[in-house]
Chain A
Amino acid sequence: MSVAATLAARCELCRFRRDDRRNIEQVLPGLASLGSAYGASIGASALCEKHDCFVSPRDVCAAFQPSED
């Protein structure tokens, strides 16, 4: 994949990236008991609905689909 294509297909722009702190606290039981999705430690990580894992904005994968926003 070319550099330009990689940049265009990154997680930051993908429809599967769910960057929602409230949702993260709901789907990770116990997170809000002794932690928080609103603190600094989470950084720019967000959940990928496709792979059900944490991703960072510049990550890439073959399942990329552009967000509608």
Chain B
Amino acid sequence: MANDINALEIQGVCKKFGETVILNNVQAIIKPGMVTAFVGPNGAGKTTLFHIITGNLSADSGQILLNQRDITNMPPFVVADMGITKLFQDLRIFSDMTVLENVLVALMDRHERKPAWAFDHLFKLKSFLTDHKKEALGFLELVGIAEHKDKMAGNLSYGQQKLLAMARIIARRPSYILLDEPTAGLSPVMVNQMVELISKMVKEMGISVGLIEHNMKVVQKLADYVYFLHEGKVFCHGDAKTVFSNAEVKRIYIGLSKGEIK
């Protein structure tokens, strides 16, 4: 399994915050064209793991390999350039810009953002913008909020803002997307919309997804492979059925999570 050439591999990653061990020798692999879910009780280290992959946190030891290339502890923008993006829990949308502009800004290249570029391409500017607007609208249609394109993004509901953040991430055409609780705070209708969107991303656009999710129905619907994390270790892994029928997992997770307030 570790010899897959194209994959995002997590090899023996450890992380401590002070004396507290957050991750202890975590071994996992996010395979291309699949949804790989990370589940486990709160504090199991799932979000920390995603932060380490994206370079927002550094690993104490261990390696992150992208297509066998070591990307451990690289700065976040370098990791993003390599095609690994993350849906931030705080969404980070541009609230005083329209929904369409939010996606539009993600479509512009670095050299196009230079002030002189617009004057060099003065006569092409209009068609350039129309083309990009069309493209951006396509992404909004994909996530299902195209009818709100001219609204200020800050005026959207939380669920719609989440979909907008997804559209903006997809517009960057990544090969890996890490989703940290994509359905948290969404209404049941929106949850279904999000699930459909994620499976569309994987099946039609060939994007590989790493998923942290507490909603077990969503995990069972989407995940091709599940890692169960407990106290910073991979407790067990396999397909969703195998993991969730494990008696120990049921005791730790289903039993524990009942009493917890998330």
Q: Do A and B come from one complex?
A: no
